[in-house]
């Protein structure tokens, strides 16, 4: 199908119907609609399956499967066919782009799982598994990406496939990836994020026409950018001794190119926890950096991710999230057990950072 530019816009412009968020009631599986707000408990008969029991005595089984998130229409139609056969034509998606099918008859669970797996959709991602990676757009669609997103996720999920389909981790493991330091992928037990290591390279010919210079100056977290005349043109300059290479200036001013094929590296962060369970929510911490942006499969990143998760799996106690485990064993032991180098760059010096330093004699030897 040729999608080249077509005829001009119609003369009569259609006004949008400002309908907002649609009502979800008609999309609910009939058993969910019937027992809305009246569920009693759930258990997990096997990885990838949730069994919910309502106060009415009704029961439903949810089968969860992984998807590639960026889905072609053929894949979506296939997922719909499966829903029409097994699940009353209803599906839902989780926050991590897994698809869920709900059935009211336990006998449908096994054939539904078989059908999903036959079509290449792994069943899992429940309970104490490693679930699908929350991710961003990357080279496929973002205007400021330092790396890809879907490709990194595909490469990593291939490596973590078995753990997605099992429930053998100490507690659930949420992963995210982000293709710049803005971190659209979000907080996670373990995250892979671009870390730039060189200040942006400025194309002075373009700045005056493309960038609103005061806005760019204001955007810099460390006040390292100032207006300047370069080659007779209004432009911007960077105090490179102040610049910490965050890339905040790049979105409002694309001529300040921060992405660098060699010097934009990948960093690994651990210990983010969204939930309030046990301790309060936590932000993740950087534990490794300097990994090469090695498309198409990022083997160096996968190696570090797997190393951390393997040690966590062996060493953590039941119900310890990654953050809980490190709270128990301490950071020195974390670096010792994972074999990751603890460098000076991992000592926080941003505002509020003193709370991240050890102001006690609590030291594990």
Partner 1 sequence: MAKKPHDTPNLDQLESGPWPSFVTGLKELAKDRDYVVDLLGQLEESYKTKKGYWKGGTVGVFGYGGGVIPRFTELKNEDGTPKFKDAAEFHTLRIMPPAGMHYDTATLRQFCDIWEKHGSGLIAFHGQSGDIMFQGATTDNVQKAFDELNEMGFDMGGAGPAVRTSMSCVGAARCEQSCYDEASAHRSVLNTFLDDIHRPSLPYKFKFKFSGCPNDCMNAIQRSDMAVIGTWRDNIRTDEALAKKWFAKHGMDELVNDIVARCPTKTFQIKEIGKIKKGEHISSVAVNETHAIEINNQDCVRCMHCINVMTGALAPGQDRGATVLVGGKSHLKIGGLMGTVVIPFMKLDTEEDREKLIDFGQRTIDFFAENALEHERTGEMIERIGLANFLDAMELDVDPAMINSPRMNPYVRTDGWEEEVAKINAKKQVA
Q: Which residues in 16-55 contact partner 1 (CB under 8 A)? A: 16-24, 26-29, 32-33, 36-37, 39-43, 52-53
Near partner 1 by CB under 8 A: residue from 201, 218, 229, 347: 218
Q: How far is 99 from 19, CA to CA, in rounded Å?
A: 26
- Tokens representing 339? 């074999």
Which residue has 């290591």 as its token pair? 197
Judged by beta carbon, residue 99 or residue 169, the one nearer partner 1 is: 99
User: Whose CA is closest to 149, among 259, 70, 258, 256?
Assistant: 70
Q: How far is 145 from 258, CA to CA, in rounded Å?
A: 10
- Closest separation between CB of residue 19 and partner 1, Å? 5
Q: How far is 334 from 48, CA to CA, in rounded Å?
A: 30
- Closest separation between CB of residue 232 and partner 1, Å? 25
Rg of the chain over CA atoms, in angstroms? 24
> Does residue 285 bind partner 1 (CB under 8 A)?
no
Q: Site mask, partner 1, residues 120-149, x = CB under 8 A?
A: xxx-----------xxxxxxxxxxxxxxx-
Q: How many residues bind partner 1 (CB under 8 A)?
A: 124
- Tokens representing 175? 């992963």
Phi, psi (rounded to 5 degrees) for 316:
-80, 155
- Closest separation between CB of residue 129 and partner 1, Å? 14
> Does residue 80 bind partner 1 (CB under 8 A)?
yes
Near partner 1 by CB under 8 A: residue from 107, 118, 344, 351: 351
Single out the segment in contact with partner 1 by CB under 8 A; choices: 10-18, 107-115, 231-239, 335-343.
10-18
Judged by beta carbon, residue 104 or residue 208, the one nearer partner 1 is: 104
Judged by beta carbon, residue 22 or residue 57, the one nearer partner 1 is: 22
Near partner 1 by CB under 8 A: residue from 109, 224, 243, 246: 246
Near partner 1 by CB under 8 A: residue from 97, 177, 195, 338: 97
Q: Site mask, partner 1, residues 291-330, x = CB under 8 A?
A: --x-xxx-------------------xxx-----------
> Does residue 115 bind partner 1 (CB under 8 A)?
no
Judged by beta carbon, residue 232 or residue 358, the one nearer partner 1 is: 358
User: Whose CA is closest to 170, among 336, 324, 331?
Assistant: 324
Q: How far is 226 from 37, CA to CA, in rounded Å?
A: 56
Near partner 1 by CB under 8 A: residue from 68, 197, 203, 289: 68
Single out the segment in contact with partner 1 by CB under 8 A; choices: 107-115, 231-239, 279-287, 299-307.
279-287
Q: How far is 336 from 308, CA to CA, in rounded Å?
A: 11
Q: Cα–Cα distances in Å, from 269 out to 44, 287, 360?
A: 30, 6, 25
Which residue has 């009415």 as its token pair? 56
Q: Give me the DSSP letters along 272-330.
A: -B-S-SSSPPB--EEEEEEE---TTT-HHHHHHHHHHHHHHHHHPPTT--HHHHHHHH-
Judged by beta carbon, residue 2 or residue 358, the one nearer partner 1 is: 2
3-state secondary structure of 16: coil
Q: How far is 146 from 251, CA to CA, in rounded Å?
A: 12
Report DSSP state, residue 221: T
Answer left, alpha or beta for residue 263, where phi above 0 means left and psi between -120 and 50 means alpha. alpha
> Does residue 57 bind partner 1 (CB under 8 A)?
no
Judged by beta carbon, residue 234 or residue 252, the one nearer partner 1 is: 252
- Tokens representing 160? 């973590």
> Does residue 114 bind partner 1 (CB under 8 A)?
no
Single out the segment in contact with partner 1 by CB under 8 A; choices: 106-114, 237-245, 259-267, 299-307.
259-267
**Binders of partner 1 in range 148-207 (CB under 8 A):** 148, 150-151, 154-155, 157-158, 161, 181-187
> Does residue 359 bind partner 1 (CB under 8 A)?
no
């Amino acid at each position: 199908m040729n999608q080249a530019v077509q005829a001009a816009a119609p003369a009569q412009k259609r006004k949008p119907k400002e309908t907002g968020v649609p009502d979800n009631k008609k999309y609910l599986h009939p058993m969910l609609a019937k027992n809305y707000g009246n569920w009693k408990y759930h258990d997990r008969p096997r990885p990838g399956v949730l069994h919910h029991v309502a106060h009415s005595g009704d029961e439903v089984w949810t089968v969860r499967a992984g998807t590639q998130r960026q889905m072609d229409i053929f894949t979506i139609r296939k997922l719909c066919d499966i829903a029409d056969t097994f699940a009353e034509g209803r599906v839902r998606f989780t926050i991590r782009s897994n698809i869920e099918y709900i059935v009211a008859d336990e006998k449908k669970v096994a054939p539904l799982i078989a059908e999903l797996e036959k079509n290449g959709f792994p069943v899992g991602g429940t309970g104490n598994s490693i679930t699908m990676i929350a991710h961003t757009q990357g080279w496929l669609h973002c205007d400021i990406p330092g790396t890809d997103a879907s490709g990194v996720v595909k490469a990593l999920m291939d490596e973590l496939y078995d753990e997605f389909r099992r429930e053998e981790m100490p507690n659930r493991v949420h992963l995210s990836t982000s293709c710049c330091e803005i971190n659209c992928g979000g907080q996670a037990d373990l995250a892979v994020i671009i870390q730039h290591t060189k200040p942006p390279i400025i194309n002075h010919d373009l700045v005056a026409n493309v960038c609103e210079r005061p806005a760019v100056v204001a955007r810099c977290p460390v006040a390292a950018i100032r207006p300047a005349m370069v080659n007779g043109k209004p432009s911007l300059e960077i105090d490179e001794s102040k610049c910490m290479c965050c890339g905040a200036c790049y979105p409002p001013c694309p001529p300040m190119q921060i992405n660098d094929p060699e010097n934009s590296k990948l960093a690994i962060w651990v210990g983010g926890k969204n939930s309030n369970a046990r301790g309060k929510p936590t932000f993740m911490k950087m534990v490794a950096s300097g990994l090469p942006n090695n498309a198409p499969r990022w083997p160096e990143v996968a190696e570090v991710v797997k190393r951390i998760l393997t040690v966590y799996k062996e060493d953590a106690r039941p119900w310890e999230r990654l953050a809980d485990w490190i709270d128990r064993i301490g950071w020195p032991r974390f670096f010792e057990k994972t074999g990751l180098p603890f460098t000076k760059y991992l000592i926080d010096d941003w505002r509020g950072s003193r709370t991240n330093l050890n102001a006690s004699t609590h030291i594990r030897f």
